[in-house]
Structure 1
Amino acid sequence: MASFNTPEYCRLRSDAPDQSINGQAQNSHQVNLPVKTPTVRYVPNSGWSRYKSAFQTLIPFRRTRSDVLVLPIDKVGFFSYITFSWLFNTVHQTDVTEIPSSSPLDSCDINGQRLHHIFREEALHTGQKELRMFTVFWRFVRTRTLAAAIIHMLGIIFNINAIVIFMKKLLTSKNNEEALIWTSGIVLSQILSALLLIVSLLGTDGQKIYDAVFYGTHVIVSPIVFLYSVLSILFFISDKTKLVNILISMFPYILTYLLLYMLVRLGGYVSSRGNILCRQRVALVHEMLTHIRSVKMTLWENVLSRHLKGTRQKELKFLWRQYFCDGFSKLLLNVIPVMAVLLYLFTIGEQDISKVILLIALFCGFMRDSLYSFWYGYKKILEALPSLERFKNIMMLVEVKKFTEKPINRYIAINIDSANFTWDNLETHNRKEKKNKKQPMNSLFELSTLTGNDNRLPALRDISFHAPKGKLIGVCGIGKSGKTSLLLAILGHLHQTYGQVLRDGSCAYVGQRPWIWNATIQENILFKEPFNKMRYYECLLNCCLTEDINTFPHNDGTQIDEMSLPPGQKQRIALARALYANRDIYLLDNPLSLVDADMAASIFEKSILIALKNRTVVLATRHIQFLTRCDEIYILDRGEIIASGTHEMLLKDCPPYSSIIKAYTHENSKKYFIETNRHNSSTTSMTTFLSQHIDLQSSSSTHSIELGEDENVCRGESSKHCDILPNYGDNLDAIDLNRYGPLRAYVSFLNSGSTYFIVILGLMALVISTLCLFSMPVIIINFQKIQNHFQIILMALLFIMLFAGFIWSFMFMKVVIGVSQRTHNSWFEKLCRAPVGYFQASTAMMFVLNLFSLDIHDLDYTLPSTLSQLLHNTSLLLCLVSIVLYLSPYCVIVLLFTVMITLLWLARKHRKCILKLYAIEVGSRAPLYQHVSNTVTGRTYIQAFAKEKEFIADFTKHCDNNITCTFLLSAANLWLAFRIRVIGALTVGIVAVVLILTEPVNWFESSNKTWICGLTLVIVVQVGQCLHRIMQAGCESTASLNLFAESSQCIQGIQSEQQKIKIRSNKPLPANWPTDGSIVFENVKTGPLPHTSQVLDGMSFKIESGQKI
């Protein structure tokens, strides 16, 4: 259970006097008072006291006023809890712009602690190899799931009793007064059933796992409801002596349970195969975005487009098979009731009117709903199982080893004795290799392969390394010698197989590839540390960032995700972050490799030699000018330390060191160029022109993947050239859908006349199939007239329903897959035509990845499901109203009045609120995904600076915001469901009264009144459920269509690059190209890009074959 502890005092910093970066004591004017931070801690408890907060909900009325900024779900009374009246004050009466925070008992913090506690208990009990995440999550939700299942089952049983007992008494009553009494019993039973059904759906736990918990109880309840229905038929409707005949009539339902189980398993297998191709497709998009400059320069867009379309085509084949499994399952759900009625009449030949009507109500109502609930719940559980396995893989990750033991010699900061390090455990890799033989490479594996990381081989062998306190230690070596691995081993990121590692002091880390997270420049430098004005500006001055910050739009308050910084600036910001951290040990991996020579020398002098003169610094570099200033140098070769000593000693006694120096001097003799006077003229040299107008640094990768290799990177950075390129899709945030409606956006991809014909044919088949299902009442009423041909008519009806259902399923699948395929190809082709500047912003990359993963998934699964449900229930409602009009025209007035109240009174304000909540929920995902992406890519920095708790707290905040939106969406839907069910129950009562007090219409004068009353009531009972499904599916489909329209408009709003460079001939390239290739510019002029000053004005030059520029 959760318990609020007494407020704890968290000290902002240590008691030691504040030191500036140069090591001298400074008097700080900042007053550091203790901050009270109330925390929530999970305390395991097996007694009844853990249900104290849940039992308080049973109090009928509670007048405790809660904070308006927190959901009052834990402070409301029982009646407000079950009717969701608290939601009206929270959401409906106010403008939904700011969502209140979740309850502390429902936050990710306390529930994460509880889940982690259960995971550890299960791991200790069964072992890690035998651990099953399904068992862990079942223990996590067991009590609430069983309680929800019991309440849900009781609600359905009350509903069945309302039909079997009260309706039977109503149909067999001999006077109107008695009939009115039983009518009130039906109404009360319906309302009580609605209460119990709604209360059973109160729970939130995550997306797929949340759906599995939300609908998984149906797998338990559905068979029990089926058995109770069979017992009701046996004891209340049919004769007990006809048990065998009843079981024969139940055979289609029993067989359907087995068929649905097999179809769900088959659909799950097909879906898993499709998900593999989906991950492969998204990985390809990610690789393209990562290396977009290389793709554009080598004209690989067409090659990648063909590859991506081929992968998408294979994925759609599995999607087609999954749609077929789902469509066939839904068709079975519609056909089975007709088959059961047919078998029952064949075997028993029932003639009692009241019994036949009750059987139709059970067969076509509760028993059919139990089948659908079983199928849908089991499907959601199967979809959640892969998510549970991925969750287990994350929980089983080996955590970074914290070196808490200190060296015996207190003057030593780092002491490594004869240690071996590997990137991973061999056993883990063997399992991964077996899995990768059957599965394609995911994005992370492809990325690591692309960058050259080979984690399977031992990284470091027999390492003996000593770093005294206050010394500058250099680490040198050729490419892939193990410099980066040594620094990461000191941080604890490598698996230690032998030896000893001792460390005394806190660490700061600067990687070879700088990591910048999505925040302001100041927040990147502070990195969750308290602000100290003097120390902050000293860091900016030492890292030469003052002039750069003055050129930014909002100085150091500029959001870095809105712009694209050159790698040199990112590296200096990362170095400033390390300086500001004020740590004991600094691990620097080529910290100035992307900065030009003059600025690098200045920063090295100010930052490393002066500001960090009393700190331990381990510097991995190949720069001669830096190695000569080190107190001691270690030389690495193929993961081993081959020599150590001062610069002079190594030059004299170590030939490999001399070779490294000579190779470095030769490589860099052509790498740097310094030009004091730069002129923007068309007559300048090509070198001058390139140095002025082309930023060669921005083509390097921005991912924080530390490589054990020093790459040849062009070093030419200027603080005046920031390359702040805007997002070309300026309409990403402001979308005007008034001109371009969501439905029109979806229909726009139905761009062929044959497609419209298929849509019309599919809708006609859907209406025919629904009419066949609900034309049974008409046939039953005329039972006496067609008694000799009754079975033949029902069999023909069954055949027509099957044929129309197959046509509807096939046409719907064809339309949906066609739209999905055309949409995906259109989006990717538009993306390939986007200019390179669009991809420089990190928000653009996140938008594109979400577009081709989440939005495409929504287009493939969510939108077709909601549209199918909306169309099916709309046709069902029209058929119900038509049949009621045929049976009793007086009752249609009551039904129309009910529909008008539901659509105008409830839906009018509820729909706007629901759509706003959907928009806020979608908007709450972006910060969550962005934070997770930043955390994963920057985990080395986060762990090095010991900022795990701060980033976990940020994740909890973002996750709570998203979960609160999800909970409010579910609560809003249940708020509507309860009121529609109450209106439906009152409608049943009013219709029953109308049927009792009126006489049948003229065309039913020869028919029995009991037939008409019973069939009309059975149909009217379905109207309330149908209205609720229409409202829910309508809101969900509208929200999905809005998201689809916004995504389409965003991707179409990206400015296309100007394709003025054309190939004059379609002939194939010669075999010797590009050996004899040449480039010619003749009076080239380019207009300025927005917010940039890059202009070519009459540029003319020629590069001959074989020339090197």
Structure 2
Amino acid sequence: MYREVGVSAVFGVIFLLLFIPLQAYLGKKTSVLRLKTALRTDERVRLMNEIIQGIQVIKMYAWEKPFGKLVEKARIKELKVIRYVSYIRGILLSFIIFSTRVSVFISLVAFALLGNVVTAEKAFVITSYYNILRQTMTIFFPQGIAQLAETLVSIKRIEKYMLYDETDIGRDDVPDDRTSENSSNDKVPNSTQSTITKGSIEDMKYIDSHESLADVGKGNGIVNPVGITIKELVAKWDPLVAENTLQDVSLQIKQATLMAIIGPVGAGKSSLIQAILGELPSSSGAIDVNGVVSYASQEPWLFSGSIRQNILFGQPMEKRRYREVVKRCALEKDFSLFANGDKTIVGERGQSLSGGQKARISLARAVYRQAAIYLLDDPLSAVDTHVGRHLFDQCMRNFLRGKVVILVTHQLQYLQHADQIVILDKGRILDVGTYESLKESGLDFAKMLRESKEDGKMEEEETRSRSGSKTYQRRISETSLESLDQTHDTPVQTEEGRKEGSVGIGMYKKYFQASGGFCAVYWMMLFCVTAQLCASAGDYFLTYWVNKEEQRNVQELMARMSNDTVDVRVNATTGEDFFGKILKFVGASEEYNNYVDIYIFTALTIATVFITLSRSFIFFNLAVRAAKVLHNAMYTGVTKASMFFFNTNPSGRILNRFSKDMGQVDEFLPTVMIDVIQIFLSLAGIIVVVAVVNYWLLIPTVVIGIIFYFLRDFYLITSRSVKRIEATTRSPIYSHLGASLTGLSTIRAFRTQRILVKEFDSLQDLNSSAFYVFISTSRAFGFWLDVFCVIYIAIVTLSFFLMGDAYGGNVGLAITQAIGMTGMVQWGMRQSAELENTMTAVERVVEYQTVDPEGQLEATGDKKPPPSWPEEGKVTFDRLSLRYFPTKGADAVLRELEFEIKPREKIGIVGRTGAGKSSLINALFRLSYNEGCIIIDARDTGSMGLHDLRKKISIIPQEPVLFSGSMRYNLDPFDEYADEKLWKALEDVKLKSVIQDLPSGLQSKISEGGSNFSVGQRQLVCLARALLRENKILVMDEATANVDPQTDNLIQATIRQMFADCTVLTIAHRLNTVMDSDRVLVMDAGKAVEFAPPFELLTGISGSGIFEGMLKETGKGTYEQLLEVARKNYETIHQSNV
């Protein structure tokens, strides 16, 4: 350029160089903002994950709106940063349009002001050079900076994660259980001797788990006996907290010992199990674990797969042992109820199981593994009386005889069969001994035994999945254990739906409507078109200027040679020029015209800069608004969806829409869309300019346009489908990660990390393959576009040779525009296709906006009940049936229920696992599909709004769900009650002292899922919520399943006192809690088989003997004791009625 225009070239290059520090600054700013965006996106997605996991509790509490405000608040913070990032992107994209034009303008104006003549040769050589620089300095360079910034942010986030402290569990060697699949005699290196001290773990030593325990150590150099030794262990979950979780714990557990660990809620029972597993870090002391460890968690964890896969969990299939384990864990009857037996698919919310079924499958997994040490964390709390006795006698005492069995339990009636009993309280061991020695001691043990009125009561079907997944379908039609011999017809898990064909104009309309409607889009497009008009006018004015200078030079040359008239053709050519007519009209002199040319060129360049920047700001504002509206609409659609939707869609699939798809709509889609608009307007400008110069060029332009259209159409057929496949193959990765994190302690205890990693790799490879195919098709598309662009340039160039007579300015303009078109057409076509592909994210987001809602939240007119409703609490079930599937022909879980609950009556609801007890609660809250009606105080609940109904019924749900945030927010998200009332509720449920010990009291932070509280404590928080609502109807769905008997008795007394004037429905987890009920409803196979006062059912006055049989299974002493309780309560009620 210096050779062509001299020092004038320097001015334009300096201008471009000045952009480098600006672009660097913007790139650095992008890096900072990108990190903020990632953090705020993480916060929103984490919140959405909690909402999805706890959606049933949120619906029953009618908390959709307060959680919606939380999500909206998090979303506003996220969009605030995204808006700034979008502005920076808009500025960088604007540089593409005006930076080279400004550089050309500076160089040419400087060249003219220095007294030189701007010729076609000079002007379009400079333009060509700057177009080359434009690719690198205004497109690739800023893109490189932005992508480098985002890459650095990602690397820093990965680095932060990688630098977290790692657990020592299984670090030295994670055995691969799959190596023993071919032979039951293969030696599996899965027995460990480990010493866990502060920050270290000794090398693992392995024994053959298939040898008898008596032979352990023979011939392999290991002489340590099987067992566990704990010496002065001090441990805590949070190193910043002063109080220790476990304090000075010392235990010696020898081979062939059944040890029971008991204690009140929050005593540290589960923490002791976690310490043995190595999950709880120790501050001092040591734990020696000698032998293979197997583990059943307190909250049953199942991964997405068949029941058989969940039980085997990577272990080799041994049919004889498998059959025996299924029998000992009381799963035979359950398998006979499933259509596909043990091949029935379970998962987060597919064909779901009851809590008791989950607990027994989790126990079966632990028992199936051939181990020396079995850690069983309260597995009996989720099963009924008969099944509980079977599990304890047949599984723990019989099948696991000779093993080390550590059983955490609240079922004190089984303690007399334990070899050792450990009493824990506040992380300390109060005493260790046999049943007889402790009974004779002066500790609270004897008092606990006396206060435990039932001798054999256990929970029925407590669902306590840490992932928060709910269970609905209690029965799913069926085969038996004969399916063990079948190797085919395994049911396929429901796959995510994937649309086909083009996205459609309707999806673009939805996006633009979300951005502000037709008016806002009209103004945005007006600015886009105006910006392009200014840019094209500047390009064309440059041609006019060059032609004018060329004409003036010809005139001067001709005048000097012959003083003759200039060629008429030349005069006519420029005289008819648009800009020439304007100057001729104003009658400006030739010298003045030169300055006017510069002024016009300057005005067009400045207008291009400002209008282009304004266009970018307007567009990205609309894009952020569209993202906000689409996200809010999707949240509303999801939270209003029926529970069937959450049953049939794993949380990972739903989160995929809120994370990856929403991220595409937030950041990637606006960039692609403005790029497409900018490129196609530029192409339109180029076509117009080329057509003005030579209208014959419209012919090849139209032809190549048609070719490009069909190329793009052909490409989109493949790329669009591949993009959708990539999106759907991403969802299982989220689900797998979520499930793995939820069951991490179980996975580590079973040393099956490699199996889970292999499955993750398989899922990731599938997703990566789809993404690679998508990238490959994009590159192939770009190659063929380039080929046809080169052909088009050749046609344009040759056309001027064939024409012969044309001005240099016109030729230069046409060729430079065509050359500039090359990369632009390729990029534009690819971006237009990418826009179509990215719009699939909008399509997926909109799809969740239109999910079938469960019903109207708030009723209007006569259907809306008065604020005082219900005043009495009378509940009538009128021919009620319930199904969990929306199709009319689906099997009913509840069948033709017809009974009446009187005002202020206390009803106990009992029945075996799968009888339909929790389904009855679902029907009351309209969580499923009801037929018939439920009438409360003369109002049909089916005709009122869901919130109108749910706000008036207090619920203590099966799942003790807490949400991250403060304790106060968990109790009172609407901020309706004073602190004094909250403290009173906590005091009534015996949690006041626990909350007072927290650093900030009511404002103390709750971890995600309430993980910093025990399961029992979480249930007590749910009870406190019910106390605060003061409704006339209270439903307790196994509300005290995870608390010790002493706490249970205190809570029952509190409920009797606080809800004396309320109708109370109690699903029994211990039969003693329903013996003082006014009446007991016995459920079986979805029907109400008995409904009468407990004394009448026990004495044969009413009923068919089912309830009496359940009570007799608890033992003679307990039966007589509870019969006396029922008799006294019956007489009291009878006398009061008289």
TM-score calculated relative to the size of structure 1: 0.67
Give the secondary-structure state (helix, strand or coil) at the position aligned to 2:381: coil
Matches within 5 A, 1:314-463: 314-349=77-112, 351-367=118-134, 369-396=136-163, 397-402=165-170, 403=194, 404=203, 410-423=224-237, 426=239, 457-463=243-249
Q: Hey, what's the Cα distance between the residues in 1 that align with 2:131 and 2:687?
A: 17
CA distance 1:392–1:751, change in 2 (3 Å): closer
Matches within 5 A, 1:403-802: 403=194, 404=203, 410-423=224-237, 426=239, 457-561=243-347, 562-662=350-450, 665=452, 697-698=462-463, 700-703=464-467, 733-734=496-497, 741-748=503-510, 750-751=512-513, 755-783=517-545, 784=549, 787-802=594-609
1:28-74 deviation digits (Å, cap 9, x = unpaired):
xxxxxxxxxxxxxxxxxxxxxxxxxxxxxxxxxxxxxxxxxxxxxxx
Does structure 2 retain, via aligned residues, the 8 Å contact 1:291–1:701? no
Structure 1 residue aligned with 2:830, among 1027, 1032, 1049?
1032
Size of the alignment, in residue pairs? 792
Q: Hey, what's the Cα distance between the residues in 2 that align with 1:833 and 1:991?
A: 59
Match of 1:247 in 2: 10
1:260-307 deviation digits (Å, cap 9, x = unpaired):
222333344444444444333333323322332332222222222233
Structure 1 residue aligned with 2:708, among 884, 902, 911?
902
Give, in angstroms, the shift of residue 549 of structure 1: 1.5
Structure 2 residue aligned with 1:835, among 642, 647, 666?
642
Give, in angstroms, the shift of residue 308 of structure 1: 2.7
Give, in angstroms, the shift of residue 670 of structure 1: 12
CA distance 1:642–1:741, change in 2 (3 Å): same
Moved more, 628-637 or 888-897: 888-897
1:120-155 deviation digits (Å, cap 9, x = unpaired):
xxxxxxxxxxxxxxxxxxxxxxxxxxxxxxxxxxxx
1:697-748 deviation digits (Å, cap 9, x = unpaired):
45x444389xxxxxxx9xx999869999xxxxx998446667x954313413
Moved more, 633-642 or 798-807: 798-807
Give, in angstroms, the shift of residue 1098 of structure 1: 5.3
Q: Hey, what's the Cα distance between the residues in 2 that align with 1:902 and 1:533?
A: 62
Match of 2:894 in 1: 1094
1:298 partnered with 2:61: yes
- Code of the residue aligned with 2:638 in structure 1: it is L
Q: Hey, what's the Cα distance between the residues in 1 that align with 2:881 and 2:858?
A: 13
Give, in angstroms, the shift of residue 924 of structure 1: 1.6
1:960 partnered with 2:724: no
1:819 partnered with 2:633: no
CA distance 1:237–1:883, change in 2 (3 Å): same
Identity score, percent:
21
Matches within 5 A, 1:976-1015: 976-1000=781-805, 1008=807, 1010-1015=808-813
Q: Hey, what's the Cα distance between the residues in 1 that align with 2:872 and 2:147?
A: 60
1:88-117 deviation digits (Å, cap 9, x = unpaired):
xxxxxxxxxxxxxxxxxxxxxxxxxxxxxx
CA distance 1:908–1:828, change in 2 (3 Å): closer
CA-atom RMSD in angstroms: 3.3
Q: Hey, what's the Cα distance between the residues in 1 that align with 2:475 and 2:404?
A: 33
- Code of the residue aligned with 1:610 in structure 2: it is N
Give the secondary-structure state (helix, strand or coil) at the position aligned to 1:508: strand
Matches within 5 A, 1:120-131: none
CA distance 1:848–1:867, change in 2 (3 Å): same
Does structure 1 retain, via aligned residues, the 8 Å contact 2:411–2:458? no
1:760-787 deviation digits (Å, cap 9, x = unpaired):
2222321221232233332122212653
Q: Which runs of 5+ in 2 are unaligned?
A: 171-193, 195-202, 206-216, 480-492, 550-579, 581-592, 905-1031, 1033-1060, 1066-1138
Give the secondary-structure state (helix, strand or coil) at the position aligned to 2:245: strand
1:527-552 deviation digits (Å, cap 9, x = unpaired):
01121111111111111111111222
Moved more, 568-577 or 579-588: 579-588
Give, in angstroms, the shift of residue 828 of structure 1: 2.1
Does structure 2 retain, via aligned residues, the 8 Å contact 1:421–1:498? yes
CA distance 1:736–1:415, change in 2 (3 Å): closer
Q: Hey, what's the Cα distance between the residues in 1 that align with 2:242 and 2:680?
A: 58
1:930-969 deviation digits (Å, cap 9, x = unpaired):
2111211111111111111111111112212222222222
- Code of the residue aligned with 2:162 in structure 1: it is M
Give, in angstroms, the shift of residue 910 of structure 1: 2.2
Q: Hey, what's the Cα distance between the residues in 2 that align with 1:308 and 1:1068?
A: 30
Moved more, 1022-1031 or 582-591: 1022-1031
- Code of the residue aligned with 2:47 in structure 1: it is L
1:939 partnered with 2:744: yes
Give the secondary-structure state (helix, strand or coil) at the position aligned to 1:653: coil
Give, in angstroms, the shift of residue 983 of structure 1: 2.6
Match of 1:59 in 2: none
Does structure 2 retain, via aligned residues, the 8 Å contact 1:742–1:1044? no
Match of 1:35 in 2: none
- Code of the residue aligned with 2:735 in structure 1: it is Q
CA distance 1:963–1:548, change in 2 (3 Å): same
1:882 partnered with 2:688: yes
Q: Hey, what's the Cα distance between the residues in 2 that align with 1:721 and 1:975?
A: 50
TM-score calculated relative to the size of structure 2: 0.65
Moved more, 517-526 or 265-274: 265-274
Give, in angstroms, the shift of residue 366 of structure 1: 2.6
Match of 2:44 in 1: 281
Does structure 2 retain, via aligned residues, the 8 Å contact 1:1085–1:1096? yes
Give the secondary-structure state (helix, strand or coil) at the position aligned to 1:593: helix
Q: Hey, what's the Cα distance between the residues in 2 that align with 1:858 and 1:582?
A: 48
Q: Hey, what's the Cα distance between the residues in 2 that align with 1:723 and 1:811?
A: 60
Does structure 1 retain, via aligned residues, the 8 Å contact 2:657–2:844? no
Q: Hey, what's the Cα distance between the residues in 1 that align with 2:134 and 2:757?
A: 47
Q: Hey, what's the Cα distance between the residues in 2 that align with 1:753 and 1:393?
A: 36
1:448-467 deviation digits (Å, cap 9, x = unpaired):
xxxxxxx7753222222222
- Code of the residue aligned with 1:745 in structure 2: it is M
Moved more, 767-776 or 508-517: 767-776
Match of 1:1056 in 2: 854
1:974 partnered with 2:753: no
Q: Which runs of 5+ in 1 are unaligned?
A: 1-232, 430-454, 674-694, 706-712, 725-729
- Code of the residue aligned with 2:694 in structure 1: it is S
- Code of the residue aligned with 2:125 in structure 1: it is L
Give the secondary-structure state (helix, strand or coil) at the position aligned to 1:358: helix
Give, in angstroms, the shift of residue 523 of structure 1: 0.6
Does structure 2 retain, via aligned residues, the 8 Å contact 1:643–1:654? no
Match of 1:921 in 2: 726
Give the secondary-structure state (helix, strand or coil) at the position aligned to 2:874: strand
1:1045 partnered with 2:831: no
Give, in angstroms, the shift of residue 377 of structure 1: 1.6
- Code of the residue aligned with 2:524 in structure 1: it is G
CA distance 1:958–1:831, change in 2 (3 Å): closer
Q: Hey, what's the Cα distance between the residues in 1 that align with 2:494 and 2:622?
A: 29
Higher gyration radius (CA) = 2
- Code of the residue aligned with 1:1013 in structure 2: it is V
Give the secondary-structure state (helix, strand or coil) at the position aligned to 2:804: coil
Does structure 2 retain, via aligned residues, the 8 Å contact 1:547–1:719? no
Q: Hey, what's the Cα distance between the residues in 2 that align with 1:985 and 1:533?
A: 69
Give, in angstroms, the shift of residue 632 of structure 1: 1.3
- Code of the residue aligned with 2:133 in structure 1: it is F
Does structure 2 retain, via aligned residues, the 8 Å contact 1:565–1:722? no
Give, in angstroms, the shift of residue 669 of structure 1: 8.7
Give, in angstroms, the shift of residue 1103 of structure 1: 3.4
